[in-house]
Amino acid sequence: LAKTTQPISMDSYEGQEVNITCSHNNIATNDYITWYQQFPSQGPRFIIQGYKTKVTNEVASLFIPADRKSSTLSLPRVSLSDTAVYYCLVAPRGDSSYKLIFGSGTRLLVRP
């Protein structure tokens, strides 16, 4: 399973766009990139998943360059409630028993 590296923490202010980059140099051909959000004392929540180029949903955008060795989660106009830990994970799809290996995650603090 590909290992991921993210910044330990980030600070931002309400209304700003936040970009969190994740490195996954050893990503395999059939690996997908998934981001989860976790609030204190809660289980992780799925944010977005992608394979290449750009994916956008109502919550975030995910940018993946052609070499797929990194990805960037973009949160538009963050609010205080976006303060959480964000995890980038890489795992294959199609294998019913694939494991999610969580890295350290990025602790995002949004200030007023």
What residue ranges bind another protein (CB under 8 A)?
36, 41-46, 49, 87, 91-105
Q: Which is nearer to another protein, 44 or 64 (CB)?
A: 44
Q: Taking the complex as a whole, how short is the minimal distance between the CB of residue 30 and another protein, in angstroms?
A: 11
For residue 79, report the phi and psi dihedrals to the nearest 5 degrees: -120, 175
Q: Taking the complex as a whole, how short is the minimal distance between the CB of residue 42 and another protein, in angstroms?
A: 6
DSSP-based helix, strand, coil % in the chain, nearest 5: 5, 50, 50
Q: Taking the complex as a whole, how short is the minimal distance between the CB of residue 15 and another protein, in angstroms?
A: 28
Q: Taking the complex as a whole, how short is the minimal distance between the CB of residue 17 and another protein, in angstroms?
A: 25
Question: Residue 62's closest CA among 102, 101, 34?
Answer: 34
Q: Which is nearer to another protein, 13 or 39 (CB)?
A: 39
Q: Which is nearer to another protein, 78 or 85 (CB)?
A: 85
Give the number of other Cβ atoms within 10 Å of residue 102's Cβ: 13
Radius of gyration in angstroms for the set of CA atoms belonging to the chain, rounded to a whole number: 13
CA distance 57 to 101: 24
Q: Which is nearer to another protein, 15 or 56 (CB)?
A: 56
